[in-house]
Structure 1
Amino acid sequence: MSFYTSLSGLKNAQTDLNVISNNIANAETSGFKKSDTSFADIVASSALADSSHTVGIGSRVATITQNFSLGAINQTGGALDITINGDGFFTVKSPLSGETQYTRNGALTIDGSSYIVNAQGARLQAFPTDPVTGAITSTSTLQDVQIPAASPNPKDPANPGSYAGVTIGKNGQIIATYSDGSNATLGVVAVASFLAPTGLRQLGDSTWAASGNSGAATYAQPGSGTTASLLSGSLEGSNVDIAEELVSLITAQRNFQANAKAIDTATQISQAIMNLRS
């Protein structure tokens, strides 16, 4: 039994090493959230067994939990680099699969079709607004953000200005400016929140999808109520602390070595018993 008990410890230590290695590998990944491994013991006994003589039979991985604490905020100066200064997620939608995804990585660009997208080409989702007043016209629907080539709110309707630039304010308003001095509000960034964000399904590229464990997303305007505001011209880095991970790496390595030593000891005992019979 000692072989299998120590083997479970070896497997768990290997899982812990894998998780820590993944954290370290993504220490410079924007919007990445580290994971922590928790373990539980395994006990096998009948209802009539004497509890004072119960021996454990190993351990197992209880959970691998994502840690959504805020990462370091790095100033970039980019007009379309934005950070959520608190809890929540940006919402993006893949134009190919139509899948709605959530991310903390606010590195955005404009694609060839004038949509605001992330590095994977998924389109930023926003509340629709009145282009003149900037007021949100619906909180029940989200839409892609596409920048008009000519001003939708020109000072001279006969000669509308051409696109000059775009900014995103701390309240999430996406405002395009034009060569005639006019501007238009194209939408308001929708910040998604979940009852249990640790239940989100990881997709890679610092994106997640909703699951039964996370619950459905609820949306709000940045800076409204308890919803965090946005920081323009900055990106959230990984929340991995290298020093902390290296200490955890040493601990996991020692755990692996100790279980390996226990197997070696069990082997020596078995060999000694076999030699007694010869």
Structure 2
Amino acid sequence: MSMNIALSGLGAAQKDLNTTSNNIANANTFGFKESRAEFGDVYSSSIFSNAKTTTGGGVQTSTVAQQFHEGSSIYTNNPLDLRVSGSGFFAVADHKTDTNNYNLTRNGAFHLNNNNELVNSEGKFLLGLPLNKDSNTVASYDPEIISIKDEFENPEKTGNINVSLNLPNKETAPKDTPFDFNNTDSFSRSTSSTIYDSLGKPYKMTTYYVAKYDPNTAPTNANTWEVFQTVTNNNGEEIALDVKAGSLPTGYTATGKTNAAGEAHIGYIMKFDKNGQPFPGSPEIPGDDTVDPPIDPVPAVAPSPLKIEMETFADAKIDLGGADPAQAITMNYDGVTQYASAFEMRKFEDVDGAATGHLTKIDINPEGNIIVSYSNGKDVPVGRIALARVPNEQGLAQLGGTLWNLTQEAGPVQLGDASQGSFGAIKSGTLEQSNIDMTQELVDLITAQRNFQASSRALDVNNQLQQNILQIR
């Protein structure tokens, strides 16, 4: 009996040594979680035994429990090196066509394979969640393979431009009239940007702002502005881009002017109230200041963003090389003001226009959104990294390669978004080191060694006692 007890002690000490040695061996394994051997005593009795004098039967290994506390961070220059800061696991699948059969890992060392898919060092595919293009919200929690295109699809023509700017309220009117984009003394401010046709060919679009006096205010206050646009043709010549008939809302009547060359250039008028906000007053008659609406009243209803549609490129005499001949540009003024501050272009965003772009950069934000940047200036969200949680992490089955398999003991898996609810955030350019405390492991190693020696000694003493008994004559 005592020999069996000593043998069980040797086995327990050996299990403790094996567990500690495995922890030490994986001290540099990314995402590794330390294990701890847990033991229980062996005790048995029957109705014919005396419980007061019955000894235990030795020791047995109850479980080798994993400890899922977080490891420290190691910082890299690779944006595809990821760590989960908080609760959650990455989900990786063996096959593209079976994304509902996946394993979990905390090792976030990923890279692109030859098909531009995100995989780990073993070739397992990182799973993500599809996004709605308009709102960048999760469209479905059915996981899918994350694939990144090397080129940004097909070129797209410019259709909408979002503009937000401040026009200074104390801007003197230009000394020359009428407006002529070839005469710098006939306009107050100008800005330029690039727009694209349906073939992805770039054109330079210039916007001119002309400050106007108003008889209802101080002579140096310009609360009325005329705005004109031009676009370059294939020869680099500036061509007038006129307002499309019928596209202006009330209060923003087009103003027809004739430049020095005798050509009409149709722009539009923007008026502002005393608070520096767009004024949706009565239509203005270009060139007749006597019928301007009063400026003092504040509009009862705030005006909606000003939308002005410009004439097509074809009307601007631009050869589109076989592309769509009817390409109109809609200017969406949202957040235009006239404050007592400097001229400021807050935003001039080409919403949909783009040339063909090549992959230049990949960024992953704390929410797990994968933002791909292309050489044409477009930043495209291609998906969101899926995180997984289970109620009982210690119920997960180890597979090796810092992978865990789902089991009934672990409980039902839940997929979700990083930084939402109980899910942790995702840190790009960072890897999670193993959570091994080397000092504690070395102490455990010494303890396990002492236990092994003590059990060996007990076995040796038991052997000597049996030898003494056998030598009795």
The one-letter amino acid paired with 2:40 is A
Worse-superposed segment, 154-163 or 73-82: 154-163
**Kept in 2: contact 1:200–1:209 (CA 8 A):** yes
Q: Which residue is 2:257 aligned to? A: none
Q: Which string of whole-angstrom CA distances, capped at 9 and with x for unpartnered residues, describes residues 133-185 of structure 1?
A: 4221112x010000112214855453321222211110100111111001211
Instruction: Give, in whole Å, the separation in 1 of the partners of 2:149 and 2:87.
Output: 31
Alignment equivalent of 1:179, drawn from 364, 371, 375: 375
The one-letter amino acid paired with 2:114 is G
- Secondary structure of 1:51's counterpart equals coil
Q: Which string of whole-angstrom CA distances, capped at 9 and with x for unpartnered residues, describes residues 233-267 of structure 1?
A: 10000001111000000000000000000010011
- Secondary structure of 2:52's counterpart equals helix
Q: Which residue is 2:31 aligned to? A: 31
Q: Which residue is 1:91 aligned to? A: 91
Alignment equivalent of 2:121, drawn from 119, 122, 136: 119
Distance 1:226 1:20, change over 3 A: same
Q: Which residue is 2:136 aligned to? A: 134
**Kept in 2: contact 1:155–1:182 (CA 8 A):** no
- Secondary structure of 1:56's counterpart equals coil
- Secondary structure of 1:9's counterpart equals helix
Query: Deviation at 1:106?
Result: 0.7
Instruction: Give, in whole Å, the separation in 1 of the partners of 2:72 and 2:31.
Output: 9
Instruction: Give, in whole Å, the separation in 2 of the partners of 1:154 and 1:221.
Output: 32
Worse-superposed segment, 44-53 or 64-73: 44-53
* 1:196 counterpart = 2:197: no
**Kept in 1: contact 2:125–2:145 (CA 8 A):** yes
The answer to which structure has the higher helix fraction is 1
Equivalent residue runs for 1:1-278 within 5 Å: 1-95=1-95, 98=98, 99-139=101-141, 141-152=142-153, 156=157, 158-159=199-200, 160-277=356-473
Query: Deviation at 1:275?
Result: 1.4
Query: Deviation at 1:95?
Result: 2.3
**Kept in 2: contact 1:155–1:180 (CA 8 A):** no
Instruction: Give, in whole Å, the separation in 2 of the partners of 1:225 and 1:153.
Output: 38
Q: Which residue is 2:299 aligned to? A: none
RMSD, aligned α-carbons: 1.6
- Secondary structure of 1:230's counterpart equals strand
Distance 1:80 1:4, change over 3 A: same
- Secondary structure of 1:263's counterpart equals helix
**Kept in 2: contact 1:132–1:185 (CA 8 A):** no
Query: Deviation at 1:190?
Result: 1.1
Instruction: Give, in whole Å, the separation in 1 of the partners of 2:48 and 2:155.
Output: 84
Distance 1:25 1:170, change over 3 A: same
Query: Deviation at 1:48?
Result: 4.5
Gaps of 5+ in 1: none
- Secondary structure of 1:44's counterpart equals coil
Q: Which string of whole-angstrom CA distances, capped at 9 and with x for unpartnered residues, describes residues 111-142 of structure 1?
A: 00110111111111111112454221112x01
Give the TM-score normalised by structure 2. 0.57
The one-letter amino acid paired with 2:26 is N
**Kept in 1: contact 2:396–2:409 (CA 8 A):** yes
The one-letter amino acid paired with 1:145 is I
**Kept in 2: contact 1:131–1:152 (CA 8 A):** no
**Kept in 2: contact 1:162–1:178 (CA 8 A):** yes
Higher Rg: 2
Distance 1:97 1:52, change over 3 A: farther
Q: % of aligned pairs identical?
A: 37
Distance 1:268 1:185, change over 3 A: same
Distance 1:190 1:154, change over 3 A: farther
Distance 1:147 1:232, change over 3 A: same
Instruction: Give, in whole Å, the separation in 2 of the partners of 1:229 and 1:153.
Output: 34
The one-letter amino acid paired with 1:45 is S
**Kept in 1: contact 2:37–2:63 (CA 8 A):** yes
- Secondary structure of 1:192's counterpart equals strand
**Kept in 2: contact 1:132–1:153 (CA 8 A):** no
Instruction: Give, in whole Å, the separation in 2 of the partners of 1:134 and 1:186.
Output: 9
Worse-superposed segment, 154-163 or 143-152: 154-163
Distance 1:147 1:97, change over 3 A: closer
Q: Which string of whole-angstrom CA distances, capped at 9 and with x for unpartnered residues, describes residues 26-50 of structure 1?
A: 0000000010011011112103532
Gaps of 5+ in 2: 158-197, 201-355
- Secondary structure of 2:57's counterpart equals strand
**Kept in 1: contact 2:96–2:125 (CA 8 A):** no
Query: How many residue pairs are counted as aligned between the two chains?
Result: 276
**Kept in 1: contact 2:96–2:145 (CA 8 A):** no
The one-letter amino acid paired with 2:413 is A
Worse-superposed segment, 129-138 or 10-19: 129-138
Instruction: Give, in whole Å, the separation in 2 of the partners of 1:257 and 1:95.
Output: 49
